Amino acid sequence: MDFNADHFALFGLPRAFRLDATALDVRYRELQAEVHPDRFAHAADAERRLSLQWATKANEAYQTLKKPLPRARYLLHLLGHDVGAENNTAMPADFLMEQMEWREGVAEARAARDHHELEHLHHRLRERMNASYDELAALLDDTGDHATASDRVRRLMFLEKLLSEIDEAIAALEE
Amino acid sequence: MALLQIAEPGESTAPHQHRLAVGIDLGTTNSLVATVRSGLTVVLSDELGRSLLPSVVHYAADGGVEVGYGPQSRQSADPKNTIVSVKRFMGRGRNDIAHVESLPYDFVDAPGMVRLRTVAGVKSPVEVSADILKALRARAEGALGGELVGAVITVPAYFDDAQRQATKDAARLAGINVLRLLNEPTAAAIAYGLDNAAEGVYAVYDLGGGTFDISILRLSKGVFEVLAAGGDSALGGDDFDHRIFCWVIEQAKLRPLSSGDARLLLTRAREAKEYLTCHSEAPITARLSTGEMVDLTLTTAIFNEITQTLVAKTIQPIKKALRDAGLSPTEVKGVVMVGGATRMPQIQRAVGEYFRQEPLTNLDPDKVVALGAATQANLLAGNRAAGDDWLLLDVIPLSLGLETMGGLVEKVIPRNSTIPAARAQEFTTFRDGQTAMAIHVVQGERELVGDCRSLARFELRGIPPMVAGAARIRVTFQVDADGLLSVAAREQTSGVEASVTVKPSYGLSDDEIAGMLKDSLAHAKDDAFRRALKEAQVEAQRLIEAVQAAIHGDGELLSDEERRRVDSAIVNLQAAALGENRRQITLAMDDLEAETKDFAARRMDKSIRRAFAGRTVDEVEKATGGGGKA
Ligand SMILES: Nc1ncnc2c1ncn2[C@@H]1O[C@H](COP(=O)(O)OP(=O)(O)O)[C@@H](O)[C@H]1O
Ligand SMILES: [Mg+2]
């Protein structure tokens, strides 16, 4: 096994957005069971260093593939499209408008300490995102339209951020 | 001094020989040492059959050091020189310590970590902890009849980098090889999980004398996976004592107390607290040095009232940990209670109400952490057969971040990341010809640098002069399996390795530790030279054993020529280790390391191929050769 192999290869999974989550879990554990520093606690320095590097790599690869957004970004990166960071100026006006409406809704609910409304926003946004991820899967795995896929990933980056802001607001109310 | 065993090259020193390893629970209040003996995990007791060692250290003017029950029972006689709950000071400055004004010590606010002035000199918390560890090491070596290969030492899951490093430094001072720093709740989960063949999501609620931890784990066959950890590294049974102490002062309208009287009342407060666990009221009586008499009765109702906010303080971190794990309280199958303070009925009630189930109190809350640590130490020492082992996946409890413009924090490694973890970040210069750059690493969840704990400041030097913005310096942050951070930097365009000098904001520098090692020898029979030589010899032996075990397992990965070279490096090192020349030992070790470097890589490769062995060749090839196909 090559240390520079990509994350999909590392777990023996096909290079695609749709992924067998159970297989990923099983293989991640199989690999960690072999390379984890706990297996090398009494070994010589050289082996301990290698084990640290491999176990770190296995964790990074697993974290990247486990969640859909980093997985999509990573896949696009392998395909030669680097999505980059969130950047307002690159986004179309209608998307930015929609974003603003969402944000106003969240800000109002937060100010009113409206737990119920925040939960409602969370679920609406989740549904919207799920549909987006389905579309992304088709773009990446079926039609191979990487340019459109990159655009959808960029939008999803905004949406994921918004979702975590809603969750933080809910958490703050519960405290 | 133990003689080194000499084996003919090729004839391995029985790689299956049982290696002496222990688990140490270095507690705020009590410490324990446990081991696996003839397949059974047992706590090692003192000559009177007591398993706990109170974490209390007394320093006498003649340099004598006493640890345990003796100093604990005499603490109010000599409070300044009797250090209790030293764990609360590990990796902490004076300003970080709660109720510092009511503590009877003579604090010295040294840079990095607070110190305590005693009749035997100024002591760092690391040295005090090392004295506790030395007592445990002596107990273990006495009971097991040999030198320890190493120890797993437990730390609160919520300990930050400075506190972990301080613990590791203490072990080094005590001459203990640390196989791993293990989180206390994780150790408890190992003990509980293996004993009960538990499967599913469990919470471990650990309230000791000075720390509170909550960990959420998923237990499945052969895997212990920590999903989230949380807590408060300055909350424990001591705080309940303190609430009673304040109540007594208020009720009895006492004037400011001498340090001896304060100690006495804190002890009475603690006794009352423990008494209330099984009774509905507790008498508190004391005669102070001023002649004043204290004679009060504390009822359960009052106790509950004055400690209500403390109980509530433990629920917040549970909520946060569950949220991080993406779980609701009802998805938790069992709540394992650990730590002496979980005996308090109001704690069990609050936890039961939150999780809507009776917490699991059927294990000994004092011993379970040490037992789990011993089980893990036995595994790490290589005493278990492959296939008869388990995988432990733990996390870092607090996010690591960097200071950016305007005193804000940018997260580099988020909390609850599975360790080991690494993250690389790129920096650039903002002035023409700039050759150095300062970086500030912090730990914590808040947005402002000032609200997080400063871990280290370091400078990148030796950046080749270029125009502003041209240099690309890649800084890699690595958190190892002990939860400890290290930093490396490299200039990308020229490939120059920028040197990094980390100035820890908390903790001790290498020089300080070397100084302490020397000081601790001033009273020992051995001199510094002997001690250093001995350390090198033990390390040499460890390396030889590791290499021989590797050859025993995977000898076929070496060509005949390589095997000859490795064997001869082993013989060389064995010879050097018999001599008294430390430098020669170090050189021979380097030599053996160099001869086995490729071998190590091949062995790792073999392990990884083993991980793939379960899959069909077809599957693996499809994946690796997949190219851009959808
Ligand atoms: N029966 C009891 N009732 C209430 N508190 C108790 C009881 N027994 C011990 N404790 C408290 O437990 C704490 C020590 O717990 P322990 O798990 O030994 O701590 P640590 O891990 O910090 O050393 C002390 O605050 C002690 O007073
Ligand atoms: Mg404890």
Question: What pLDDT is recorded for position B613?
Answer: 67
% of chain B surpassing 90 pLDDT: 50
Structure tokens at A139: 């773009």
Closest CA to B212 of B239, B235, B229, B189: B235
Q: CA B509 to CA B501: how far, in whole Å?
A: 11
The owner of tokens 């290498």 is: B510
Cα(B535)–Cα(B176) distance, integer angstroms = 10
Q: What is the pLDDT of residues B294-346, one digit of tens each?
A: 999 999 999 999 999 999 999 999 999 999 999 999 999 999 999 999 999 99
What is the whole-number distance in angstroms between the Cα of residue B348 and the centre of ligand 1? Answer: 14
SS3 B78: coil
Mean pLDDT value of segment B57-66 = 93
Q: How far is the CA of B32 from the centre of ligand 1 (A)?
A: 14
Per-residue pLDDT, B11: 40
Please tell me which of B193-197, B270-274, B579-583, B622-626 the model is most confident about, judged by mean pLDDT. B270-274
Please give the mean pLDDT across all residues of chain B. Answer: 86
Residue-wise pLDDT for A126-137, tens only, equals 999 999 999 999
Look-up: residue for tokens 């196909």? B629
**How many angstroms separate the Cα of B1 from the Cα of each of B105, B516, B589?**
38, 22, 21
> How far is the C-alpha of A40 from the C-alpha of B344, rounded, in Å?
41
Q: Which of B184, B232, B239, B241 is flagged as catalytic? A: B184
CA distance A5 to A111: 49
> Which residue, among B149, B150, B217, has the nearest Cα to B183 in the 3D structure?
B217
Best probe of the B interface among A1, A28, A143, by most B CBs < 10 A, is A1
Task: State both tokens at B554.
Answer: 């995977």
Separation CA B452–CA A26 (nearest Å): 37
Q: Tokens standing for B52? A: 């706990």
Contacts for B314 with CB less than 8 Å, ≥ 6 apart? B205, B207, B212, B214, B232, B235, B347, B350, B351
Distance in Å, CA B339 to ligand 1 centroid? 6
Q: Report CA Rg, chain A.
A: 20
Positive or negative, the CA dihedral B213, B214, B217, B222 is: positive
Which residues on chain B are in Cβ contact (under 8 Å) with A9?
623-624, 626
Residue contact A14–B596, C-beta within 8 A: no
Tell me which residue of B70, B198, B65 sits closest to B119, measured CA to CA: B65
Q: What is the DSSP letter of B395?
A: B
Q: Given its phi and psi angles, is residue B140 left (phi above 0), alpha (psi -120 to 50 degrees) or beta?
A: alpha
* Res B623: pLDDT: 45
Question: From ligand 2's centre to the CA of B149, what distance in Å?
Answer: 24
Give the predicted TM-score (pTM) of the model: 0.86
pLDDT of residue B454: 85
Chain A residue numbers with beta carbons less than 8 Å from the beta carbon of B550 are 43-44, 47
Question: What CA–CA distance (Å, rounded) separates B174 from B135?
Answer: 9
Active site residue B253: no
Give pLDDT tens digits for B102-159: 788 889 888 778 999 999 999 999 999 999 999 999 999 999 998 899 999 999 998 9
Which position has the higher pLDDT, B534 or B235? B235
Q: What six digits make up the tokens of B399?
A: 């996010």
pLDDT at position B168 over 60: yes
Q: How far apart are the C-alpha atoms of A124 and A120, rounded to whole Å? A: 6
Give the one of A8, A55, A171 whose C-beta lies nearest to B420's C-beta.
A55
B184 is catalytic: yes
One-letter amino acid at B337 equals M
From B68's Cα to the closest Cα of chain A, the distance in A is 31
ipTM of this complex prediction, to 2 decimal places: 0.90
In this predicted model, what pLDDT tens digit does every residue of B514-555 receive, in sequence order?
Answer: 666 666 555 554 556 777 787 788 888 888 888 988 898 888
Could you read off the pLDDT of A55-96 as tens digits, one per residue? Answer: 999 999 999 999 999 999 999 999 988 887 656 567 888 888
| Longest distance between any two alpha carbons in chain B, whole Å | 88
- Out of B603, B614, B623, name the one closest to residue A47 (CB): B603
CB contact set of B373 (below 8 Å; sequence gap of 6+): B22, B23, B24, B25, B34, B152, B153, B154, B182, B187
Interval B492-508 mean pLDDT? 64
Query: Residue A59: CB partners within 8 Å, gap ≥ 6?
Result: A32, B417, B418, B419, B420, B421
- Asked whether the beta carbons of residue A44 and residue B601 sit closer than 8 angstroms, the reply is no
- Whether B87 is catalytic is yes
Give the distance from residue A94's alpha carbon to the nearest chain B alpha carbon, in angstroms: 30
pLDDT in tens, B237-267: 999 999 999 999 999 988 888 888 988 999 9
Mean of per-residue pLDDT scores for chain A? 90
Domains of chain B: 21-196+363-388 (3.30.420.40), 400-508 (2.60.34.10), 527-611 (1.20.1270.10)
Of B316, B547, B612, the CB nearest to A12: B612
Name all domains of chain A by residue range, CATH numbers in brackets: 7-66 (1.10.287.110), 87-174 (1.20.1280.20)
Question: Are the C-beta atoms of residues B608 and A34 closer than 8 Å to each other?
Answer: yes
Overall average pLDDT of the B34-57 stretch? 95
Q: Residue B368 corresponds to which tokens in the numbers above?
A: 């379970």
Distances (CA, A) of B354 to B217, B315, B335, B388, B531: 17, 8, 11, 36, 53
Residue B384: its pLDDT value, please?
Answer: 82
Residues A19-50 pLDDT 10s = 999 999 999 999 999 999 999 998 888 899 99
Is residue B229 pLDDT above 90, yes or no?
A: yes
In this predicted model, what pLDDT tens digit does every residue of B569-621 receive, in sequence order?
998 898 888 888 888 888 899 999 999 988 988 888 888 877 776 554 445 44
Pair type for strands B150-155 and B21-26: parallel
Catalytic (active site) residue B25: yes
Distance B234 CA to ligand 1 centre (A): 14
Q: Across the interface, do B600 and A59 touch by the CB < 8 Å criterion? A: no
Cβ contact A59–B597 (<8 Å):
no
- Alpha-carbon distance B370 to B184, whole Å? 9
* Substitution candidate for ligand 1 out of B26, B29, B87 with most atoms within 8 A of CB: B29
Could you give the 3-state DSSP secondary structure of residue B83? strand
Q: How far is CA B230 from the centre of its chain?
A: 15
Q: Which residue has the higher pLDDT, B179 or A90?
A: B179
CB B446 within 8 A of CB B452: yes
Beta strand segments in B241-363, E:
281-287, 293-299, 334-338
Cα gap B524→B542, rounded to integer Å: 25
The number of the ligand 1 atom at minimal distance from the alpha carbon of B237 is 25
Strand pairing partners for B57? B67, B83
- Average of pLDDT values for B407-434? 88
Query: CA of B549: which chain A residue's CA is closest?
Result: A43
Nearest CA to ligand 1 atom 9: B340
Comparison of pLDDT for B22 and B508, the residue scoring more:
B22
Question: Taking phi first (over 0 means left), then psi (-120 to 50 degrees means alpha), and beta for anything else, what does residue B527 get?
Answer: beta
